[in-house]
Amino acid sequence: MPKQRLALFNLAFAQCFGSAAQITMATLSALVGAALAPAPKLATLPVTIGILGIALATLPVASMCRRYGRRPVFIGAALWGALGATLATVAILRSSFAGFCFGCFVMGNNIAVVAQYRFAVAEFVPGARISRAVAGLMLGTLLAAAATPWIAMRTRNLLPAEFAGSYAALPLLYLTAAVILLFVPLGRPHDDTTQPVRIPSLRGILARPAIQLAIVSAAVSYGAMSLIMTATPISMHVMDHHSVEATAGVIRSHLLAMFIPSLFSGWLIARMGIGRMLWLGVLVNAGCVMLSVSGQEVWQYRSAMIALGIGWNLLFVAGTTLLATACNRDEVLRIQGINDFMMFATMATASLSAGALLDGIGWVWTNLVALGLLVLVVIALLRTRRSGYCSVNPVPGK
């Protein structure tokens, strides 16, 4: 148990530093894109390209982890992310929109690897503790959410072009993550598999209602969050003329709200069950939409984004726990890449749509589109309940 706790502690710190790119992209990339883009509709393209970089890396990353083990993949990705941040910095200094998009794409590749940390945690804790372990890991991202926007704003004018200094600070964080990962006991996922195991076909695994619910929950949590979060800086700063500081503050509140619930969401899942937590996540996300359409003052933006963050956490942690407990370890190794691909592909589509929707139908209707995504989770929940899959209520052991 002490070794498990130490591994979780180190991995949480690595996640803290490795999440810096995701936090920075969420906070600044739309603003940098608005300054560099040749057309207003392309302002959110760097965010979308970054998310596309995540989505396209998910399947190769899962394959490499199975083949080479997690440690070399995790460390190599941190170094790759440092290169991406450097490219983004140079692109801002040279006013290169295409170069900035490419830098975001490379940093997105690293985020796909950071997303695998939660599956690494699930491999060395008992099944009944997975929800708390995943939530504990996310506390590292909570620390990043608290510190990274502050660092980004403090360093934004260190170089001649605004926000270039913010990206120039990221390579140091990536390198720190790489050093920490040297001390995390990450072996090959299949090291303890000495006997051949009969594993159902991928089609058979995906046909299970519980697996479908887990994937839909993860995809919708990221899709709804990405759509609203990507649109918020543009709506606030560009359309409603709120200050950069106010906009960054709202995004920071959202990021904190995404991860502060990790202090108790794992415990709540263990006590209340996965199904109830998923229903609660849907309701909180719906509350975000209602707040968003009520007005466009700073407090309304902030309240909506806080609700969005909490709703995302509940759906994501519960969905991850369901995926890890609804199938055995060998099945998880096959399905985790597909789960993350669907999750980040939905996120990329939502992010790409955000700018066009905001420009075409406005802030209110853009939020109502996110409300429509939540219906998919409701349908999956009802279908899983009809199938009689009991693990949606209690959290079983593996």
What is the pLDDT at residue 329?
Answer: 63
Q: Average pLDDT, stretch 312-325?
A: 87
pLDDT of 113 strictly over 60: yes
Which structure tokens are listed for 178? 């790489």
What is the pLDDT at residue 290?
Answer: 94
pLDDT of 132 strictly over 80: no
pTM (whole model) above 0.85: no
Determine the residue type at 36.
Answer: L
Q: Average pLDDT, stretch 97-124?
A: 87
Q: Say if residues 74 and 364 touch (Cβ distance below 8 Å).
A: no
What is the pLDDT at residue 235?
Answer: 87
What is the pLDDT at residue 392?
Answer: 52
Residue whose C-alpha is closest to residue 236's, from 193, 279, 192, 300? 300
**Banded pLDDT at 193 (limits 50, 70, 90):** very low
Q: Average pLDDT, stretch 78-104?
A: 94
Q: Average pLDDT, stretch 234-256?
A: 83
DSSP string, 359-395: HHHHHHHHHHHHHHHHHHHHHHHHHHHHHT-GGGSS-
Backbone conformation region of residue 295, classed left if phi is above 0, alpha if psi is from -120 to 50, else beta: left
CA distances from 197 to 19, 192, 295, 329 (A): 35, 12, 56, 11
The 10s digit of each residue's pLDDT in 45-80 is 888 788 888 888 988 988 888 788 888 999 999 999
CA distances from 229 to 23, 64, 155 (A): 12, 31, 23
**Banded pLDDT at 289 (limits 50, 70, 90):** very high
Compute the residue count for the chain.
398
pLDDT of 390 strictly over 50: no
What is the pLDDT at residue 312?
Answer: 93
Q: Which residue has the higher pLDDT, 187 or 372?
A: 372
Question: Domain coordinates of the chain in residue numbers?
Answer: 2-185+201-392
What is the pLDDT at residue 126?
Answer: 65
Cite the DSSP H helix spans in the chain: 2-18, 20-24, 30-36, 45-68, 70-93, 97-114, 117-123, 130-155, 164-168, 170-181, 202-206, 209-233, 244-259, 265-272, 274-293, 298-325, 329-387
Q: Which CATH superfamily is domain 2-185+201-392 in?
A: MFS general substrate transporter like domains (1.20.1250.20)
Q: Which residue has the higher pLDDT, 66 or 313?
A: 313
Q: Which residue has the higher pLDDT, 393 or 382?
A: 382
* Cα(358)–Cα(356) distance, integer angstroms: 5
What is the pLDDT at residue 2?
Answer: 60
What is the pLDDT at residue 344?
Answer: 84
What is the pLDDT at residue 147?
Answer: 80
Provide, rounded to the nearest whole percent, the portion of the chain with pLDDT above 90.
28
What is the pLDDT at residue 194?
Answer: 44
Q: Say if residues 269 and 277 touch (Cβ distance below 8 Å).
A: yes
Q: Average pLDDT, stretch 366-382?
A: 92
Q: Say if residues 239 and 363 touch (Cβ distance below 8 Å).
A: yes
* Cα(106)–Cα(179) distance, integer angstroms: 20
Query: What are the residues whose beta carbons fall under 8 Å from the beta carbon of 49, sequence distance 6 or more?
Result: 101, 102, 104, 105, 108
